[in-house]
Amino acid sequence: MAVSVGLVAQLIEKIAPKSWAEEWDNVGLLVGSGSQTIERILITLDGTMEVVEEAKEFGAQLIVAHHPIIFRPLKNLRTDNAAAQVPLRLLQHEIGYYAAHTNLDQSIVSSSRVLGELIGLEKMEPLERVYDINPSRDSEERGYGVSGYLTRPQPLGTLWKSFLDKLKQSGVYSQPYELTGVRLAGSLEKEVKKVAIVNGSGARFVPKALFKGADLLITGDVDHHAVLDALEGGMAVGDLGHFLTEAPMLKATYDYLTEEKALQGIEIRVSSVNRSPWL
Q: Where are the domains of the chain?
A: 3-101, 111-246
Average pLDDT over residues 160-186: 94
pLDDT in the model for residue 5: 98
From CA 189, how far away is CA 211, in angstroms rounded?
22
Instruction: Report DSSP letters for 14-83, one per residue.
Output: HHS-GGGS-TT---EEEES-TT-EESEEEEESS--HHHHHHHHHHT-SEEEESS-S--S------TT-GG
Whole-number average pLDDT of the chain: 95
**In whole angstroms, how far apart are CA 109 and each of 145, 153, 207, 238?**
12, 27, 25, 21
Average pLDDT over residues 154-177: 95
Q: Kindly report which listed range (73-77, 90-94, 142-146) carries the lowest average pLDDT score.
A: 73-77
Grade residue 87 by pLDDT with cuts at 50, 70 and 90: very high
CATH of the domain spanning 111-246: 3.40.1390.30
pLDDT in the model for residue 140: 66
Beta-carbon contacts of 259 under 8 Å, excluding residues fewer than 6 positions away, are: none
> What is the sign of the dihedral through the CA atoms of 141, 142, 144 and 145?
positive
pLDDT in the model for residue 137: 52
Q: Measured at the alpha carbon of residue 196, what is the angle toward residues 136 and 180, in degrees to the nearest 5?
A: 125
What are the tens digits of pLDDT across the range 175-211? Answer: 999 998 899 999 999 999 999 999 999 999 999 999 9
Which pTM does this prediction carry?
A: 0.95
Q: Kindly report which listed range (58-67, 130-139, 201-210, 217-226) carries the lowest average pLDDT score.
A: 130-139
Domain 3-101 of CATH type 3.40.1390.30: yes
pLDDT in the model for residue 141: 79
pLDDT in the model for residue 66: 98
| φ, ψ for residue 232, nearest 5 deg | -60, -30
Check if 3-101 and 111-246 are the same fold: yes
More confident residue, 134 or 228: 228
CB 177 within 8 A of CB 275: yes
Grade residue 135 by pLDDT with cuts at 50, 70 and 90: low
Cβ-in-10-Å burial (0-12, 13-18, 19+) of 238 comes to buried
In this predicted structure, the answer to whether residue 112 has a pLDDT above a threshold of 90 is yes
In this predicted structure, the answer to whether residue 73 has a pLDDT above a threshold of 90 is no
From CA 42, how far away is CA 253, in angstroms rounded?
11
pLDDT in the model for residue 139: 58
Residue closest to 185 by CA, chosen among 215, 154, 150, 147: 215
Residue closest to 36 by CA, chosen among 12, 4, 1: 4
Average pLDDT over residues 234-251: 97
CA 103 to chain CA centroid, nearest Å? 10
Specify which residues 42 forms β-bridges with: 63, 269
In this predicted structure, the answer to whether residue 17 has a pLDDT above a threshold of 60 is yes
Residue closest to 158 by CA, chosen among 205, 123, 192: 192
